Chain A
Amino acid sequence: MKDVGRHPRIKLMTLSEVEDVSGYVGNFNVKVRRKARYVREADCTACGECATVCPVNKYNEYEVGLATRNAIYIPFPQSIPSSYVINMADCLSKDVITCNKCVEKCQKRCIDFDMRDEIVELKVGAVVVATGMDVYDPTRLDEYGYTRFQNVVTSLELERLINAGGPTGGHLVRPGDTKAPKRIGFIQCVGSRSHNRGNPYCSNICCMVTIKNSLLIKEHYPDTEITVFYIDIRAFGKGFEDLYERSKREGVRYVRGLPEHIEEDPSTGSLRLKVENTTAGCIEEHELDMVVLAVGLEARKDGDKIRHLLSLSQTSDGFLAESHPKLMPVDAPTRGVFLAGCVESPKDIKDSVTQASAAAARAGVILSSDKIKLDAAIAVVDKEKCTFCELCVQVCPYSAISASKQNKIAAHVTEAMCAGCGSCAAECAFGAISLRHFEDAQYMAQIEAALAENPQDTAIVFACNWCSYAAADLTGTSRLQYPPNIRIIRTMCSARVNEKFVMQAFKLGAPVVLVSGCHLADCHYMAANRSTVKRMDRLWSRLERLGIRPERLQLEWMSAAEGQKFARVMAELDERRSKVTPEEIEQTRKALEAADKKKVA
């Protein structure tokens, strides 16, 4: 952090928050609110005299409440800049200057109550999001008595209790009576790997954090009895298994099984728990002086703001989604934005730093070139045909399109922001937007060719490039069988499937049509496939109004790994196809032709 602070080409803006982002890759405009510090950092020598006279005592956020701080304070010993700050919400002088003790004490005269927040505008070429995570709050799990029992602490609190710079100077004591605990229990997976008690995913770091802390405690207090209650230990990183083995050699006991609940003996503050040791197949009772809950990590509660500002998407666990898990793991779906650290998924420091280095290198690629290469498949507007309806603006997941109904301004695509999903082209009823290389005429020709011979025996499948088409590939490479009369038409995203493609297929005699794409939360184009969902509802209603059975149009989401699902869906689709009679197909054709005539008239 010191190196960053001193670096001539890095501008470190602490106590600052991004308020607005506009523009696009290479040309972002960022508005940053620099919050008032009320202490001139250039003059402050961090002597600490001011804090000695401050009468306010508040929850110390850095010490997770294990200590207090004043209203004027230094957030933590190694803070950069090394300067005090006043939390105005806590200061007695927030409305009228009533206290003024710190001002009187400060010899350097660096306290200034007239300071105001400042808005700073920056022009940047790339953005790295590294806003981290939240730690799971186990207060919700009443059975473990966190906050009810003083000697039940979280792993984060333990970090402070054993840190030489922490509130106890590194002397491990239990909060209830400040006595050194002789028997410590760690409960793993608190808030992780559970569908009804926290989050369903593994938080990645908790096993190693416990192993590390058990070794630290054993090193300083070898007589401490340590028991770890776990589901399974995940020590998969370099050197991790060694650490695990070492902690066992040091006498840490590992019991496979999680306790149901904890009871406290109010006279001693000791904790009792019962656990089913699933390795030994017996119930064990434990009496402990202190219990540490190995809490998981979760997405930041205030993360939505940054997500909206940069048009980013989340995976189902709430963390930010990368552009592609294998090929672009540090790129965000918005071009020019990169992800690093726990904002993307729970990870340890090594992985966070690895990802941050990669993100910095990716950003460097953009910054070091005058021009960037874009994919050719991006949306283009025929301004003559545009009716300013703004529908394209609404469906674009990247906010790459602007238009104005009010001012009659035709749609304009900022090419550097367009990712090429084609949602806009599918939504435009006037053919005013097309996706280069994936144009309407090309699709119409493919549909025609697929149904040129024996249309009654053919099923039309629209498959998105990233998931369902890849699932079809996997079906092939896995030697799984599916009916040979399926005709697959590849689109970049399911959202590219225009209603008229589906109608054209039915008009040309297709008995059944399937639209398929990535699972809703896994869309390669952020949430473009939500447009598909809306369009499918519209299509089913339209078919019904025309007297065509809506069941002939199917929708399936599948991932690139679901080759088996692909094969099963295709077999079922063919089965459905075989039940559509030539009479029904003929009726459909007539109904659609009549509808076309009505439209022309």
Chain B
Amino acid sequence: MTPTEKQSKLKCMRCGHEYTTSDDLIKVERACPKCRSNSVRRVGEKK
């Protein structure tokens, strides 16, 4: 899935899972949907 205007692309630094979200990346706690790790990094362009 390609990130839309409001979506950000994230990558888990623990399990490598990549996903997109429309959450506010600073206000909402990031947690990998696959492994629940918080080591989730924003990848790609800043939206």
**Which residues of A are at the interface with B, using a C-beta cutoff of 8 A?**
519-521, 527, 530, 533-534, 536-537, 540, 550-551, 553-557, 572
B37 at the binding interface (Cβ < 8 Å): yes
Binary per-residue interface labels of chain B (26-40) against chain A in the complex, 1 for a CB within 8 Å, 0 otherwise? 111110000001111
Binary per-residue interface labels of chain B (10-25) against chain A in the complex, 1 for a CB within 8 Å, 0 otherwise? 0001101000000001
Q: Are B29 and A540 in contact (CB-based, < 8 A)?
A: no
- Between A and B, 19 residue pairs with Cβ closer than 8 Å are A519-B29, A520-B28, A520-B29, A527-B27, A533-B30, A537-B41, A550-B13, A551-B13, A551-B14, A551-B16, A551-B39, A553-B13, A554-B14, A554-B39, A555-B13, A555-B40, A556-B38, A557-B29, A572-B14
Q: Give chain B's interface secondary structure class.
A: loop
Given A540-B13, A556-B38, A572-B14: A530 and B27 interface contact (C-beta under 8 Å): yes
Partner of A540, one of B14, B30, B41: B41
Q: Are A534 and B41 in contact (CB-based, < 8 A)?
A: no
A551 vs B41: C-alpha distance when bound (angstroms): 10
A554 vs B29: C-alpha distance when bound (angstroms): 15
A557 vs B32: C-alpha distance when bound (angstroms): 12
A224 vs B32: C-alpha distance when bound (angstroms): 54
Q: Are B37 and A537 in contact (CB-based, < 8 A)?
A: no
Total number of residue pairs linking A and B with CB closer than 8 Å:
39
Q: Give chain A's interface secondary structure class.
A: helix
Shortest Cβ distance from A522 into B: residue: B29
Given A554-B39, A556-B38, A556-B39: A534 and B26 interface contact (C-beta under 8 Å): yes
Most buried by B among A521, A533, A554: A533
Shortest Cβ distance from A553 into B: residue: B13
Q: Which residues of chain B have C-beta atoms less than 8 A from A534's C-beta?
A: 26
New A-B pairs, 6, CB < 8 Å, besides A520-B28, A527-B27, A555-B39: A530-B27, A533-B26, A551-B13, A553-B39, A555-B13, A572-B14
Q: Which residues of chain A have C-beta atoms less than 8 A from B27's C-beta?
A: 520, 527, 530
A534 vs B25: C-alpha distance when bound (angstroms): 9
What is the CB-to-nearest-CB distance from B35 to chain A, in angstroms, rounded to a whole number? 10
Shortest Cβ distance from A534 into B: residue: B26
A572 vs B38: C-alpha distance when bound (angstroms): 13
Q: Are A537 and B39 in contact (CB-based, < 8 A)?
A: no
Given A520-B28, A530-B26, A557-B29: A537 and B13 interface contact (C-beta under 8 Å): no
A551 vs B32: C-alpha distance when bound (angstroms): 14
What is the CB-to-nearest-CB distance from A192 to chain B, in angstroms, rounded to a whole number? 23
What is the CB-to-nearest-CB distance from B24 to chain A, in angstroms, rounded to a whole number? 10
What is the CB-to-nearest-CB distance from B42 to chain A, in angstroms, rounded to a whole number? 5
Q: Which residues of chain B have C-beta atoms less than 8 A from A557's C-beta?
A: 29, 38
What is the CB-to-nearest-CB distance from A58 to chain B, in angstroms, rounded to a whole number? 39
A330 vs B38: C-alpha distance when bound (angstroms): 31
A530 vs B40: C-alpha distance when bound (angstroms): 14
Q: Are A533 and B25 in contact (CB-based, < 8 A)?
A: yes
Q: Which residues of chain B have C-beta atoms less than 8 A from A550's C-beta?
A: 13, 41
What is the CB-to-nearest-CB distance from B19 to chain A, in angstroms, rounded to a whole number? 16
Given A533-B30, A534-B26: A556 and B37 interface contact (C-beta under 8 Å): yes
A-B pairs with lowest CB-CB distance, top 6: A520-B29, A554-B39, A540-B41, A555-B39, A551-B13, A557-B38
Q: Are A537 and B29 in contact (CB-based, < 8 A)?
A: no
A2 vs B16: C-alpha distance when bound (angstroms): 64
Shortest Cβ distance from B30 into A: residue: A533
What is the CB-to-nearest-CB distance from B30 to chain A, in angstroms, rounded to a whole number? 7
What is the CB-to-nearest-CB distance from B29 to chain A, in angstroms, rounded to a whole number? 4
What is the CB-to-nearest-CB distance from B16 to chain A, in angstroms, rounded to a whole number? 8
Partner of B13, one of A519, A530, A533, A554: A554
Q: Are B29 and A521 in contact (CB-based, < 8 A)?
A: yes
Shortest Cβ distance from A552 into B: residue: B13
Shortest Cβ distance from B41 into A: residue: A540
Shortest Cβ distance from A517 into B: residue: B38
A553 vs B29: C-alpha distance when bound (angstroms): 18
Q: Which residues of chain B have C-beta atoms less than 8 A from A533's C-beta?
A: 25-26, 30
Q: Which residues of chain B have C-beta atoms less than 8 A from A572's C-beta?
A: 14
Q: Which residues of chain B have C-beta atoms less than 8 A from A530's C-beta?
A: 26-27
Shortest Cβ distance from A530 into B: residue: B26
Shortest Cβ distance from B12 into A: residue: A551
Most buried by A among B16, B26, B39: B39
A521 vs B25: C-alpha distance when bound (angstroms): 13
A555 vs B12: C-alpha distance when bound (angstroms): 10
A519 vs B40: C-alpha distance when bound (angstroms): 14
